[in-house]
């Protein structure tokens, strides 16, 4: 383990976070929020001190990063980011309990959007801004951002691979730095487009920014207690469509922009994603038609909820906890599936689901014809055996992790609504980085009633889900660190 290089890059990440915190600081200055201003200043000072000292003690000539280092850097970096990111909430006293603040920040960076705040509207503007900005940063990835700034060293690809979700990570252009830049440019342009469209629909600039950050990172933090329900149908449609857009693999936008758009039409993942959305919207619209008066409301509400859940954003325009069983079942399924690989969304990812089903098909065929030779085909190519195997492993681990999280939070004994439905949906929702669940954690409610222990468990679940399990396991497994095992 190249410990110095690990420390060095984490130092750079912490410094980057300090720079990013200048934006909420500016917001605090604009809205003249003195307490918030000081708490951001103090946090920036702490971040600079920590990051600077990491960098200072880790000067090294050996800059090589291998797969192991990549995972460890990503795993540790996200935890440190969240620890520093939650300081403004604690210092300003907006969220006095440390565990609450940590939960809120992890929920932000992992683009979950689960909140412990009972009254969101009481929060100061700059805190609201920071909360949503963590979505934007965490969505595409902090390390990807750092990669776009620093010159790449040998093996930087390993960092990118560890942070980007999905079974296979490809570069858009030969150089990693250019790829990272390109991803962020696409990301920024799309975000800006949404801000403009929202402003056009009469939403104030501040709220447009916050909601665009929430949509772009597929996070789900807003500024209102009832999420998006209070806004005009136009705004609801804009947000619904952008949630879908940010759930699509960013490679597709690259292909549309710079190369052949024809290749886009051949993307299996995109077609499956869009088909799932269409089928789900139709099913839910039919199932909920008796609740809403007219077709346009029914269609808008079902489309918004489907788009919000499959892209793992978590905004809502309706209390889907009160919907009929079938609709809730469909939504639960969408929570697990998630959006496309290479997007900012969480969940299992459509490409994994497709590969899992194709692999099942192959196994069945193999049982029928034991001597047959079968290859799994995906995106017009034979999928590599390694990829298929790792997807199967990931799915197994994914199930195990969710079950463990569910078990741990089931010890919970808080008064209202600590039941099977609440805990199960909370585990699924946090792990897949969605936010709202059913029951006591439904779209109109929050996670405030959970104990500190459960909040930590759920925070870990969010991190596991965002980083796709392995980086955290590797960062904390003894074999990575102990000399004996190396």
Partner 1 sequence: MKIIVVGCGKIGATIIESLVAEGHDVTAVDNNSSVVNDMVEMYDCIGVCGSGTDCNILSETGVETCELFVAVTGSDEFNMLACFMAKSLGAKHTIARIRNPEYNDRNLGFIRQNLGLSMAINPELLAAKEMFSVLQLPSATKVEKFSRRNFEMVEIVVKKDSPIDGMSLIDMRKKYTAKFLVCAVEREDEVFVPDGNFILKTGDKISITASPFETAKLLKSIGLDVKQSKNVMILGATKTSYYLAKMLVTAGTAVKVIDPNKERCEQFSEVLPDAVIINGDVAAQQVLIEEGIKSMDAFVSLTGVDEENILMSLFASSQNVPKVISKINRDEFNALAEQIGIETIVSPRHIIADVLVRYARGLQNSMGSKMETLYKLMDGKAEVLEFLIESDCKIADKPLKELNLKKNTLIAGIIRARKTIIPTGDDKILASDTVIVLAAGQRINDISDIIK
Give the residues lining the site for partner 1 (CB under 8 A): 67, 152, 154-158, 170-171, 173-178, 259, 384
Rounded CA-CA distance 12/35 in Å is: 27
| Complex with partner 1: residue 118 or 375, whichever CB lies closer | 375
Give Cβ neighbours of residue 121 (< 8 Å, ≥ 6 apart): 223, 224, 225
- Give the closest residue to 252 by CA, choosing from 239, 268, 240, 241: 268
Rounded CA-CA distance 364/456 in Å is: 41
Give CA separation, 29 vs 39, 122, 469, in Å. Answer: 12, 18, 39
> CB 1 → partner 1: shortest distance, Å?
18
| Complex with partner 1: residue 70 or 214, whichever CB lies closer | 70
End-to-end CA separation in angstroms for the chain:
9
> CB 168 → partner 1: shortest distance, Å?
10
Rounded CA-CA distance 186/419 in Å is: 43
Give CA separation, 302 vs 219, 348, 466, in Å. Answer: 19, 22, 26
| Complex with partner 1: residue 159 or 245, whichever CB lies closer | 159
Residue 384 φ/ψ, nearest 5 degrees: -70, 145
| Complex with partner 1: residue 155 or 225, whichever CB lies closer | 155
Number of CB atoms found within 10 A of residue 117's CB = 21
Strand, helix or coil at 207? helix
Alpha-helical runs (H) found in 350-419: 350-368, 385-409
| Complex with partner 1: residue 353 or 383, whichever CB lies closer | 383
Is 438 buried (19+), middle (13-18) or exposed (0-12) by CB count in 10 A? Answer: buried
Give CA separation, 191 vs 37, 113, 213, 214, in Å. Answer: 26, 18, 7, 10
Residue 381 φ/ψ, nearest 5 degrees: -135, 160
| Complex with partner 1: residue 65 or 116, whichever CB lies closer | 65
| Complex with partner 1: residue 36 or 474, whichever CB lies closer | 474
> CB 373 → partner 1: shortest distance, Å?
18
> CB 263 → partner 1: shortest distance, Å?
9
> CB 176 → partner 1: shortest distance, Å?
5
> CB 427 → partner 1: shortest distance, Å?
35
Residue 377 φ/ψ, nearest 5 degrees: -105, 140
| Complex with partner 1: residue 164 or 223, whichever CB lies closer | 164
What kind and span of H or E run contains 246? Answer: helix 233-246
> CB 157 → partner 1: shortest distance, Å?
6
Distance of CA 450 to the CA centre of its chain: 22
Strand, helix or coil at 381? strand
| Complex with partner 1: residue 155 or 417, whichever CB lies closer | 155
> CB 266 → partner 1: shortest distance, Å?
12
| Complex with partner 1: residue 371 or 381, whichever CB lies closer | 381
> CB 152 → partner 1: shortest distance, Å?
5
Rounded CA-CA distance 153/176 in Å is: 10
> CB 75 → partner 1: shortest distance, Å?
19
Rounded CA-CA distance 52/14 in Å is: 9
Rounded CA-CA distance 78/61 in Å is: 25
> CB 240 → partner 1: shortest distance, Å?
34
Distance of CA 279 to the CA centre of its chain: 24
| Complex with partner 1: residue 99 or 253, whichever CB lies closer | 253
């Amino acid at each position: 383990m190249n410990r110095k290089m690990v420390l060095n890059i984490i130092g750079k990440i912490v410094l980057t976070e300090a720079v990013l915190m200048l934006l909420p600081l500016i917001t605090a200055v604009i809205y003249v929020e003195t307490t918030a201003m000081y708490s951001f200043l103090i946090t920036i000072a702490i971040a600079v001190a920590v990051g600077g000292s990491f960098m200072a003690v880790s000067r090294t000539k050996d800059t090589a990063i291998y797969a192991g280092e990549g995972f460890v850097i990503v795993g540790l970096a996200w935890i440190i980011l969240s620890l520093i990111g939650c300081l403004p909430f604690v210092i300003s006293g907006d969220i006095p309990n440390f565990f609450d603040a940590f939960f809120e920040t992890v929920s932000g960076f992992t683009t979950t959007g689960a909140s412990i705040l009972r009254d969101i509207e009481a929060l100061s503007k700059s805190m609201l801004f920071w909360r949503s900005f963590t979505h934007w940063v965490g969505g595409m990835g902090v390390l990807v951002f750092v990669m776009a700034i620093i010159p790449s060293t040998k093996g930087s690809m390993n960092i990118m691979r560890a942070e980007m979700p999905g079974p296979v990570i490809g570069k858009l252009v030969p150089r990693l730095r250019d790829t990272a830049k390109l991803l962020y440019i696409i990301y920024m342009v799309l975000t800006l487009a949404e801000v403009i469209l929202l402003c056009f629909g009469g939403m104030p600039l501040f709220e447009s920014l916050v909601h665009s950050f929430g949509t772009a990172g597929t996070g789900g933090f807003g500024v209102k207690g009832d999420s998006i329900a209070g806004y005009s149908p136009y705004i609801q449609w804009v947000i619904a469509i952008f949630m879908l857009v940010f759930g699509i693999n960013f490679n597709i936008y690259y292909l549309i922009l710079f190369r052949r758009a024809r290749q886009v039409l051949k993307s299996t993942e995109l077609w499956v994603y869009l088909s799932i959305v269409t089928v789900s919207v139709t099913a839910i619209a039919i199932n909920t038609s008796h609740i809403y008066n007219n077709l346009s409301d029914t269609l808008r509400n079902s489309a918004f909820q489907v788009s919000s859940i499959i892209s793992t954003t978590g905004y809502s325009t309706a209390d889907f906890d009160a919907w009929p069983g079938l609709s809730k079942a469909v939504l639960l399924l969408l929570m697990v599936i998630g959006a496309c690989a290479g997007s900012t969304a969480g969940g299992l990812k459509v490409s994994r689901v497709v590969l899992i089903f194709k692999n099942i098909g192959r196994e069945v065929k193999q049982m029928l014809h034991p001597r047959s030779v079968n290859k799994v085909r995906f995106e017009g190519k034979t999928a590599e055996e390694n990829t298929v195997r790792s997807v199967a492993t990931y799915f197994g681990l994914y199930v195990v992790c969710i079950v463990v999280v569910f078990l741990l939070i089931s010890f919970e004994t808080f008064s209202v609504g600590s039941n099977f439905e609440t805990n199960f949906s909370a585990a699924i929702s946090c792990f897949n980085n969605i936010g709202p669940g059913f029951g006591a954690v439904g779209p109109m409610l929050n996670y405030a009633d959970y104990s500190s222990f459960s909040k930590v468990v759920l925070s870990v679940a969010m991190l596991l889900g965002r980083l796709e399990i392995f980086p955290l396991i590797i960062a904390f497994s003894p074999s990575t660190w102990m000399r004996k095992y190396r």
